[in-house]
Amino acid sequence: MKKQIGLLIAIFCLSNLYAQDKFSLGIKLGQNFSSVNDVAVDHNSASYHAGVSTFFKVTDKIGIAPEFILSQTKLETTPPITSFIGNGALQPETYHLNYLSIPLLCEYRPVKKLAIQAGPQYSILLDQKKDGIGNATMAFKNGEFAFVGGAKFDLGGFFLYGRYVVGLQDINELKDQTKWKTTQWQLGIGMNLFNF
């Protein structure tokens, strides 16, 4: 009986959501520009992100925008991170950190075409490679909390966006006491697929 009641409530909520045009689904693709403090890196290291964006309307001006993003952080270090643990030649190393990022953003629209977004993000480290091939699991933690702030500009069925991501958690897995925190600019374009 509880399952049937739960199913009826879910159907009612979904039908109410669709009836009031309160949900949208889209895809997005863009560029990352990353840096990590206390590591000698190229502060303009470019990489990519791509994912799915959703939007749940709460009022005419406020909504919630959860996203699921595959995002890469690229870091080129000099000296190499391995020198911090006592081995490796002193030559540049490039690290590719691949994350599944899940931002939960609050969206405010001061005008119809412009949305201001802000909120927390948790990123799960899916894969980490050194120079594109070697395993780098010794250096970086498996996840990271961050805060996201930015803006989105609607262009009909498409949108442009820019945001700044500030890492709130040390991602250093090495046994030294250095704290590594990331910062990242994200710029991109997206397309709205469905509006309900």
Q: What is the CATH number of the domain that holds 163?
A: 2.40.160.20
Q: Is residue 7 part of a domain?
A: no
Q: Is residue 6 part of a domain?
A: no
Which stretches of the chain score pLDDT less than 50? 1-2, 4-5, 7-20, 42, 89, 132
> How many structural domains compose the chain?
1
Q: Look at residue 8 in the predicted model and tell me its pLDDT.
A: 41
Task: Kindly report the pTM of this predicted structure.
Answer: 0.74
Percentage of the chain modeled with pLDDT above 70: 65
Q: Is residue 180 part of a domain?
A: yes
For 158, the domain range is 21-195
Q: Is residue 175 part of a domain?
A: yes
Q: Is residue 172 part of a domain?
A: yes
Q: Is residue 149 part of a domain?
A: yes
Q: Is residue 140 part of a domain?
A: yes
Q: Please, which contacts does 133-141 make with residues 24 or more away whose CB atoms are closer than 8 Å? A: 136/81, 136/95, 136/97, 137/173, 138/85, 138/173, 138/174, 139/81, 139/95, 139/172, 139/173, 139/174, 140/95, 140/97, 140/171, 140/172, 140/173, 141/169, 141/170, 141/171, 141/172, 141/173
Q: Look at residue 11 in the predicted model and tell me its pLDDT.
A: 46
Q: Is residue 8 part of a domain?
A: no
Q: Look at residue 21 in the predicted model and tell me its pLDDT.
A: 61
Q: Look at residue 138 in the predicted model and tell me its pLDDT.
A: 58
